[in-house]
Structure 1
Amino acid sequence: MKKVGIISQARMTSTRLPGKVLKPIGGRPLLAYHTERLQASGLDVYLAITTNATDDPLADFAAAHALPVSRGPEDDVLARYQRCAAAHELDVIVRVTSDCPLLDGRLIAQAVQEYLAAENPRLYLSNVLERTYPRGFDFEVFSRELLDEAARHATTAADREHVTPYLHQNRSGRVQFAHLTRPTDRSAYRLTVDTAEDFELIRRLMEEYQADMLGADELIALLEEHPELVAINAHIEQKKL
């Protein structure tokens, strides 16, 4: 049996909305919604945070919620992932980011089943290269073999900070790809939290529509029915790699 784990990267020093992952909605931090929804996948969840004192509150959150935590360099997120995967002897890694409080664990479980069925350690499976899901549902699935290979060969600062460019750009020439897509493209919707407008949309979705209880398709249907909600952060541009 392959040991599969979800590693979520988190830090408190976001440039556009510092401390965003612990900002509260309904008396609970965004990170609590994020990790609980990930746990709906049935997989273990790990936090990869920095060694900076500014991230001590994240370590405290992890301890309070019985979540394994691994700490590493702020800018070398790739090293953080490798350290976490090695410490917990993971064979397969699901990479997510903690600014996605509505990520659907059941969608991740479906993707992991497809990944494991392929029995291919050179496979990279994601819903980000052929993007049809809203921002905020992003995940990548890959083997420890590929992670270690990237850690050995990825040398630029951007490679190290963004973890997977070496893989999804197929610099080795030996990575194979699979994509989880949906029939209709709703990639223009934005359910990640990087700005105050993003946070306001998530707050309204949770407080007015109990969005934390909805799956990916239900959330997309909700946005389709309420263009006034989509408009809250439609003008926000995703930061480029």
Structure 2
Amino acid sequence: MTSTRLPGKVLRLVGGRPLLAYHIERLQTSGLPIYLAITTNATDDALADFAAAHSLPVTRGPEDDVLARYQQCAAAHDLDVIVRVTSDCPLLDGALIAEAVQQYLAANNPRLYLSNVLERTYPRGFDFEIFSRELLDEAHQHATIASDREHVTPYIHQNRSGRVQFAQIIRSGNRSVYRLTVDTTEDFELIRRLIEEHQADTLTTEELIALLDEHSELVALNAHVEQKKL
């Protein structure tokens, strides 16, 4: 809720509903349980209320030590595999995640980190990372750099332990230039128009990409926005 570029962004209304509602609804199509890991700040009480209204488990922890929040959540619910997503990606497709989870489980390797973010071919806003509780606990125990703890996974995906193995989810046509995450007013305007004018919340990954392919005027709304660096 204290986003520096767009405060309160995940509860901003589109079509009369908060962005977070679209996000959760689309994630539920994965068939996986969903957990919210939010801060102890009073400003996040609104997120706790949202979670209660939607019967979602909540873990609350430090604002800057998000890694600790994740580890706390995984321990509280005895999770052995974690899929990390961020709440500013309201059009992320649960079906895409479900397919990736099946690939991860088939590998049967607790040292594996599987994602679509290290080698980007999907639009930003379709990001997910899959890793084991073993890797999460190891990062929580050994990560000391502030950015590692704020951004959860750098200790893992930068292979600080030297024992992480990697796999990537790659799309055959690269559309990483598209931006469907919400970090600025321009990002929000694009998502608003996609949902209100094109029912984007009902579309699959490939249907969303095809829609953007056909509407360069929509892509232009936030094409100039740069992602914040770690």
Give yes or no for TM over 0.5: yes
* Partner in structure 2 of residue 151 of structure 1: 140
Aligned counterparts of 1:22 and 1:149: Cα–Cα separation in 2: 33
Deviation per residue, 1:58-115 (Å, 9 max, x gap):
0000000000000000000000000000001100000000000000000000000000
Cα distance in 1 for residues equivalent to 2:21 and 2:184:
19
Residue 9 of structure 1 corresponds to none
Name the SS of the counterpart of 2:35 in structure 1.
strand
1:224 alignment partner in structure 2:
213
Identity, in percent, stands at 83
Residues 1:14 and 2:3 aligned together: yes
| Residue 53 (str. 1) matches residue 42 (str. 2) | yes
Compute the displacement of 1:143 (Å): 0.2
How do residues 1-241 of structure 1 correspond to structure 2 at under 5 angstroms?
12-241=1-230
Mapped partners of 1:160, 1:215: distance in 2: 33
CA distance in 2, matches of 1:186, 1:239: 19
Distance 2:162 2:148 in 1: 16
Report how far residue 154 of structure 1 moved. 0.6
Unaligned runs of 5+ in 2: none
| TM-aligned CA deviation for residue 25 of structure 1 | 0.5
The two structures have a TM-score, normalised by structure 1, of 0.95
User: Structure 1: 5+ residue runs without aligned partners?
Assistant: 1-11
| Alpha-carbon distance, 1:215 to partner | 0.9
The SS at the match of 1:128 is coil
Q: CA deviation at 1:27?
A: 0.8
- For the residues of structure 2 that align with 1:45 and 1:129, how far apart are their CA atoms? 23
* Structure 1 segments (4+ residues) deviating >3 Å: none
Alpha-carbon distance in 2 for matches of 1:21, 1:123: 30
Cα drift, residue 138 of structure 1: 0.2
